[in-house]
Structure 1
Amino acid sequence: MSQTSPIPTGGTDIEIQLRWSDEDKLGHVNNARIVTLMEEARVRWLRRDGIAERFGNGLVVAALQINYLKPLYYRPSMTVRMGVGRIGTKSFALRHLGYQDGQVAFDGTTVMVALDTDGVSSRLPTPAERQWLQDQMLSVGNA
């Protein structure tokens, strides 16, 4: 685990309830469980206020990367700050900054791709989707 980084401003905080079963024998949340916590935060973030419907035929995860910075411990909850880190031609990177007690525990990125009407091929984001993504950018850090 490396040095913790500051929590960026912008984005949306999603509170996640931790379960006792999330812990491993070392007494902290298991590293594989972090992927599930990221997924839970991402789905809640995309579903709030009908946001997911903006992308019509859906989104898929094209890549996933996590930097584990500090252990998470079983407590009632932790928070994942969600926002956009990068917008590409056909993809965009979502940042997932998991923190507890004011300190970043993990910094994850998922590269997302919008699907075309066939449900398989990727497509370019529409101008409205691109504008929405731009409005969701986190102000610090790169994805």
Structure 2
Amino acid sequence: MFYFELQPRFSDTDALGHISNTTLPVWFEQARMPLFRIFHPTLDVKSWPLIIARVEVDFVAQSYWHLPVEIRTGTGKIGNSSFQVIQEAWQDGKQIARGQAVMIHFDYKTNKSVPIPEEIRIQLAEHQIE
């Protein structure tokens, strides 16, 4: 599992003073960076090998701008050419959100999914969550 801590910005809040529901997917994407590096250590977008097929976020509790947030990221099911990303957001000892994303190993030249190489599958499995 990967851990990423961030300090919410005042601009991440909505009119009610809570962290906006549009902010969590952005934080989750930022916290997927270690998984991106497994596939593509340079992060060069000219040869990017992933696309996102699905994003799902459950908002569990209210969250606020003045307290740090920890994003926990791991993997779920690993398929032939896709894998599931499991994420949780925690603030002040409470889970505030959980999410799942499906990432696909993708070849932009052929516009098709491609199998995940075995060495990458092994690394993804090291971060698998039950």
Q: Which amino acid aligns with 1:46?
A: L
TM-score (norm 2): 0.86
CA distance in 2, matches of 1:128, 1:98: 29
Aligned CA RMSD, in angstroms, stands at: 2.0
Indicate conservation of the 8 Å contact 2:49/2:108, yes or no. Answer: no
Q: Equivalents in 2 of 1:28, 1:70: separation in Å?
A: 10
The alignment covers a number of residue pairs equal to 126
Does the C-alpha gap of structure 1 residues 126 and 17 become closer, same or farther in structure 2, counting only changes over 3 Å?
A: same
Q: 2:95 aligns with which of 92, 95, 104?
A: 104
Q: Give unpaired runs (5+ residues) of structure 2.
A: none
SS at match of 1:14: strand
Match of 1:51 in 2: 38
Q: In the aligned structure 2, how far is the partner of 1:52 from the partner of 1:88?
A: 15
* Counterpart Cα distance in 2 of 1:119 and 1:42: 25
2:20: which partner in 1? 30
Deviations 1:56-82 (A, max 9, x none): 742111100011101111125211001
Q: Which has the higher strand share?
A: 2
Check conservation: 1:16, 1:78, Cα contact below 8 A: yes
Deviation at 1:115, TM superposition (A): 1.4
Gaps in structure 1 of 5+ consecutive residues: 1-10
Q: Give 1:86 shift.
A: 1.5
Give every structure 1 segment of 4 or more consecutive aligned residues whose post-TM-superposition deviation is greater than 6 Å: none
| TM-score normalized with structure 1 length | 0.79
Aligned equivalents of 1:30 and 1:88: distance in 2? 32
> Structure 1, residues 105-142: CA drift from partner, whole Å, max 9, x if none?
1111110001126262111101111111111112x4xx
Q: In the alignment, is residue 19 of structure 1 matched against residue 9 of structure 2?
A: yes
